Amino acid sequence: MKKILFVDDEEQILVSIVRLFRTTQYEVFTASDGEKALDILKIEKMDIIISDMRMPFMDGYELLSKVKELYPKIIRVVLSGYADEKLIFNAIQKNIAKLFIIKPWDNEELLNVVKQIFETENAINNSNLLMHINNIEELPTINANYQRIISLIQNDADIDDITHEIEKDQAIALKVLHIANSAYYGIRTGSVKQAVSYLGFQNINNLIVSTSIIDTLNNSGVSKTNCDVLWKHAFVTNKIVNFIFSRFLSKKLSELSNTAGLLHDVGKIFLYKCFGEKYESLDRKSKKEDLDIFELEKVILGITHEEAGGYLLKWWELPHSIVEAAFFHHRPTDERVIDKELVCAVHIADKYSWDIINGKYSHCFNEEAFTYLKIDRIKFEEELKKLIIDV
């Protein structure tokens, strides 16, 4: 039986939660403050902790930080009000929490989110995938140079210190300037500091993580040509995802999720690293014979790039929305998906990115993604033609 710990200083909320989960298959524990929660964790092995942010003595941020340090395998979730938006953002940005649920909550929605979290965790940790993971000597990691920059950003360092660290690495400095000077952002500058200031720290953080992953590709048995194509696909996909949100959904994609397009196909890193020429051959076969590479992966390899990507991003401790965008981007309407809006956008962007890059999408496309987002496909395709793809 899965165990969940709810932490909130309002007793009435805890009473409501106990009542709500009484008929479920979960064992629910409650604590009215951080210290009591930590005492429970010393005795009971929890699967999820769901905590309020604003509490006396020890707030939710401090509590979840301690839980991350002491019990890193516990899934950490924030349950808090709109007034705590900045605190929630910081908690997820700095990987203190994986996702958040806003108060007041809808009972069915809360139950469903918990169910979806567990189902996705179980799917990512399936035995077949873990067998392949265990056969890899070392999983790809973010290198030390990039880790230093990420650490500076997460510790709210001065822009001069962050810029100085970026300028020490020519590859990342050039990438920052390239992105800032692209048609998408529309500025013209040769100054790394100005580019950092314009893009913002969260975008820089996302870019560094993505660049580190692409660097890993270069050392994973992937040809330079394939590596360049995958990077271009990642960039164009991300651009189209942002285009969908701004043009058709009339909203800005959350900074916490704006790397979803860049990282949705990172599972291919694992497959190239794990299978080498066998995967390259499979990729060629799908293009030559017009076959769905996703289905070929399942039949021939016994593992898909979706599964591998979800596992890698979870292992790198990225937010849940990024993990599920990778894990479900070919199955956007799967009932286990929490952020269907994001995953549907990534699914659409993935298809049209490949169409733009090589004129061929080697997967089955799910029209329901357009239906869910209430977007007319013909109008979308007309508007997409006007978008300048500059990579």
Convert the pLDDT of each residue in 282-322 to its tens digit.
888 887 887 888 889 988 888 899 998 998 888 777 888 99
- Rounded to whole angstroms, the Cα distance separating 275 from 162 reads 37
- Rounded to whole angstroms, the Cα distance separating 249 from 238 reads 15
CB distance 139 to 129 below 8 Å: no
Evaluate if pTM is beyond 0.75. Answer: yes
- Rounded to whole angstroms, the Cα distance separating 172 from 207 reads 9
Q: What is the mean pLDDT of residues 61-77?
A: 94
Convert the pLDDT of each residue in 150-159 to its tens digit.
888 878 889 9
**What per-residue confidence (pLDDT) applies to 258?**
81
Q: Tell me, yes or no, whether 366 and 242 share the same domain.
A: yes
Q: Which of 65, 96, 124 lies at the terminal end of a domain, its last residue? A: 124
Q: Which of 124, 144, 174 lies at the terminal end of a domain, its last residue? A: 124
Work out whether the CA dihedral 38, 44, 49, 54 comes out positive or negative: negative
Q: Tell me, yes or no, whether 247 and 380 share the same domain.
A: yes
Q: Which domain holds residue 275?
A: 220-384
CB distance 320 to 117 below 8 Å: yes
* Dihedral pair phi/psi, residue 3, rounded to 5°: -115, 135
Q: Which of 77, 107, 124 lies at the terminal end of a domain, its last residue? A: 124
- Position of tokens 């995938």? 129
Asked if the model's pLDDT at residue 331 lies above 60, the reply is yes
Asked if the model's pLDDT at residue 365 lies above 80, the reply is yes
| H or E element that contains 102 | strand 99-102
Asked if the model's pLDDT at residue 74 lies above 60, the reply is yes
Percent of the chain with pLDDT over 70: 90
Percent of the chain with pLDDT over 90: 41
How many independent structural domains does the chain possess? Answer: 2
Q: Is residue 206, in this structure, part of any structural domain at all?
A: no
Q: Which of 133-147, 180-194, 208-222 has the highest mean pLDDT?
A: 180-194
Q: Is residue 256, in this structure, part of any structural domain at all?
A: yes
Q: Tell me, yes or no, whether 235 and 365 share the same domain.
A: yes
Q: What is the mean pLDDT of the chain?
A: 86
- For residue 67, the domain's CATH number is 3.40.50.2300
Greater confidence (88 vs 107) lies with 107
Asked if the model's pLDDT at residue 197 lies above 70, the reply is yes
Confidence grade of residue 261 (pLDDT, cut at 50, 70, 90): very high
Asked if the model's pLDDT at residue 248 lies above 90, the reply is yes
Q: What is the DSSP letter of 82?
A: G
**What per-residue confidence (pLDDT) applies to 390?**
55
Q: What is the DSSP letter of 78?
A: E
Asked if the model's pLDDT at residue 28 lies above 80, the reply is yes
- For residue 251, the domain's CATH number is 1.10.3210.10
